[in-house]
Amino acid sequence: MLAGSPASGFRRVAVILIYGFVTTCSLALVATMLISEDCYDQDRCSGLETIASSVVGGAWLILTGLLIVLGWTGRLPGCRPKRTAPQTPRF
C-alpha cells in the first residue's frame, strides 16, 4: 500500500468518469473503423462485423470494470494517494 492520504471519493469518481469517457470515445472510434454504415443503419452485418462488434462491446465492458476497480482502490493515475515527505525521527 502506498503511504499518504488517499484521494477523496469525489476525486476518484471524477477520475474514473474521465477515464471512462476517453475509453468509450476510443472504442467508438475503433468501432466506426471496423463496422460499416450498413451494419449500423440497416442491421446488414457480415460475420466479421458481428464479431468485431462483439469484441468491441466486450472490451468496453471489461475496461470499464477494470477502470472502476483500479480507480476506486487508488491504483489509477489521478486516484493514487498523495505522497507525504518521510518523517525524520526526533531525538
Residue 77 lies in a domain: no
Residue 33 lies in a domain: yes
pTM: 0.79
Residue 24 lies in a domain: yes
Residue 37 lies in a domain: yes
Residue 62 lies in a domain: yes
Residue 79 lies in a domain: no
**Residue pair 20/64 in contact by the 8 Å Cβ criterion:** yes
Residue 65 lies in a domain: yes
Residue 28 lies in a domain: yes
Instruction: Please name the residues in contact with 83: beta carbons below 8 A apart, sequence gap of 6 or more.
Output: 2, 3, 4
pLDDT digits (tens, 9 = 90+) for 32-77: 999 999 998 998 999 999 999 999 999 999 999 999 999 999 899 9
Domain that holds residue 42: 9-72
For 47, phi then psi, to 5°, come to -60, -40
Per the structure, how many domains does the chain have? 1
